[in-house]
Each structure stands twice: as structure tokens, then as C-alpha cells.
Amino acid sequence: MTKNSDWLKILIQCKNNIQRQIKPLLKTLKKPQPNLGIGAGGDPIKQIDLAAEKAIIETLKEHKVSFTLISEESGIIKHGENPDENFLTVDPIDGTTNLTRGIPFYATSIAVSTKQVLNTVHTALVADLFHNITYTAQKGKGSHRNNSKIHPSKNTALEEAVIGVDLNTYKIKKVAPKLTKLIQKTKHIRHLGANALEICYVADGTIDAFIDIRGKLRTTDMAAAWLITKEAGGKITSPEGSPLKVRLDPKQKVAFIAANPKIHKIILETIKL
């Protein structure tokens, strides 16, 4: 059995290996990219996504751990004698469009759980690969940004809050009206383009809330940030305020609101879904 503290070390090695392996590819992004088909999560696969996934798998194999990998790119991969002992839910690169367009906001996201469900995630890492900032969490031990413990903001004024909202959806006519009242009361709406990292910005208080009620985000993109938010002392629930009970699967979608506890309550009251 691999201990949670060992998992944290393994995840950090995964992230270091990803940074090593994608480095040469970063120089080729402006050149025409090969067509690699569609990933398990439903988006076209890029070479850089596959390189990052390969780095994760390689590192896990070096550690001789049994695992079931749940990846946005290759789907489900089982390895070792007891693959159902450890589930690793990964988005090798979250924010691929940012990365390929040269926007310095993209991350890798890895969550380790004992079952294929979100609420069993016990160890998590989200790493901002451009700035080399790593968010980690272990169940019951808080969350860290590099080596410092993090907490959400204490801001309680909606007017002053910085709120991330993902409105990337063709179903905008259905989603946007649900947020009208909220947006009318705020001055600082953002969307940065890598949701795993943007949720971690809630965990460390950089922003006050992040809302994705499209029902379009895959669990692979937010499983790690879910634990990081909770362990930091933030709230992350369904848009109605219930705990998130979702299966970890590349095709599983999730809608949620993450925020500091006070703003979370105010947002729920304001939008009342």
C-alpha cells in the first residue's frame, strides 16, 4: 500500500517529469500540428497533451505502483496487480488552448483516490507549469502553494469580489440568464482559461469565487482542485449547494461553485438555482 505522503512525492515527480518532457515541444507549437484524433474527454488530442500524459504514466511505472488512470486523453488505463487500489484522475494539460496560443496560464492536474468517485480523493496536485507554482493537498492536512499553507480570501462584499465565471458554451442562452443577477452586482468578472488552476486561485485567495455551471467541465479537470479547495477551507458544491457526488470518468461532467465560505453563501442566495 502506498502511503498518502508517498503519493505526494510521486505526484511532484510526475509534475517535474512533465515539465522536462514538454520543454522541447514548447518550441514547436507555432508549427503545424499532427492530427492525433479525439481524446477520451471529447477534445482533439495535441502532441503536448500526450507527452504530458506519457510523463505521468512513466513516473507511476517507475514507482511500481498499481493504478487505474482516468485521463482526459487516453481514457481508462489499468496497470499492475491491483489497479483498483489507486485511481489517478488526470488532466495532463489543463488550458491547452492557452498553452498553444502563448497565454501563460496552464496546468497539470492529478488526483489520487481510493475509489472511482470524487469524495474519495485523498491526495492532489495542480501545477502551474509556466510559473512553476505547485498547489497540493492531502486529506486532513490542509493545502499548500509550493511550501506555504493556503487559505481562501475573507472578502464578503460581492461588489468588490473577483469572481471567475466560465461561460464557454454554445448553450449560453440557457446558462447566462441564471447568472444575470450575480453579474449585475459585481465589478470584477474573469475567466482565465484553465479551470483547475482558476479553482486553486480560490483556494489561495487570489480570487474570491469560481463558477462553472455549464455542466460541461470534465471531472478530470477539477478532481484535484476540489480537494485543494476543501482542504484550504473553501467551499465547493453543486450550484444548488449540495456536496459534489460525481463519478471520476473522462466523460463525466460536473457543474459547481467554488468560493470562500461567506461569498459562497451569498452567491447561492443571489442565483438560487
Is 86:51 a contact under the CB 8 Å cutoff? Answer: no
Position closest to Ca ion via CB: 91
> Is residue 39 involved in binding ligand IPD (CB under 6 A)?
no
Sheet holding 133-138, edge to edge: 75-79, 67-71, 87-94, 107-113, 121-128, 133-138, 143-145, 148-149
Please choose, out of 59-67, 77-85, 93-101, 231-239, the segment that lies near ligand IPD by the rule CB under 6 A. Answer: 93-101
Minimum distance, C-beta of residue 92 to ligand IPD, in the bound complex (Å): 8
User: What is the distance between the alpha carbons of residues 165 and 183, in angstroms, rounded to a whole number?
Assistant: 9
Identified binder of ligand IPD from the candidate list 40, 74, 87, 95, rule CB under 6 A: 95
Minimum distance, C-beta of residue 253 to Ca ion, in the bound complex (Å): 14
Query: 3-state DSSP call for residue 18?
Result: helix
Residues from 55 through 84 that contact Ca ion (CB under 5 A): 72
User: What is the distance between the alpha carbons of residues 67 and 10, in angstroms, rounded to a whole number?
Assistant: 13
> Is residue 43 involved in binding ligand IPD (CB under 6 A)?
yes
Q: How far is the CA of 73 from the CAs of 76, 173, 253, 270, in angstroms?
A: 9, 29, 15, 37
> Is residue 143 involved in binding ligand IPD (CB under 6 A)?
no
> Is residue 253 involved in binding ligand IPD (CB under 6 A)?
no
Identified binder of Ca ion from the candidate list 91, 128, 208, 231, rule CB under 5 A: 91
Identified binder of ligand IPD from the candidate list 216, 253, 262, 265, rule CB under 6 A: 216
Residue 113 has, within 13 A of its CA and on its CB side, a CA count of 23
Residue 194 binding: pick among ligand IPD, Ca ion, none (C-beta 5-8 Å cut-off by kind):
ligand IPD
Nearer to Ca ion, 91 or 249 (CB): 91
Minimum distance, C-beta of residue 84 to Ca ion, in the bound complex (Å): 25
Nearer to ligand IPD, 72 or 208 (CB): 72
Please choose, out of 15-23, 57-65, 73-81, 192-200, the segment that lies near ligand IPD by the rule CB under 6 A. Answer: 192-200
- The single residue listed with the C-alpha cell 522536462 is 20
Residues making up the chain, counted from first to last:
273
Mode of pairing for the β-strands spanning 209-218 and 253-259: antiparallel
User: What is the distance between the alpha carbons of residues 69 and 87, in angstroms, rounded to a whole number?
Assistant: 6
Residue 216 binding: pick among ligand IPD, Ca ion, none (C-beta 5-8 Å cut-off by kind):
ligand IPD
User: What is the distance between the alpha carbons of residues 17 and 55, in angstroms, rounded to a whole number?
Assistant: 6
Which parts of this chain interact with Ca ion (CB under 5 A)? Answer: 72, 91, 93
Which parts of this chain interact with ligand IPD (CB under 6 A)? Answer: 43, 72, 91, 94-97, 166, 168, 193-195, 216-217, 221
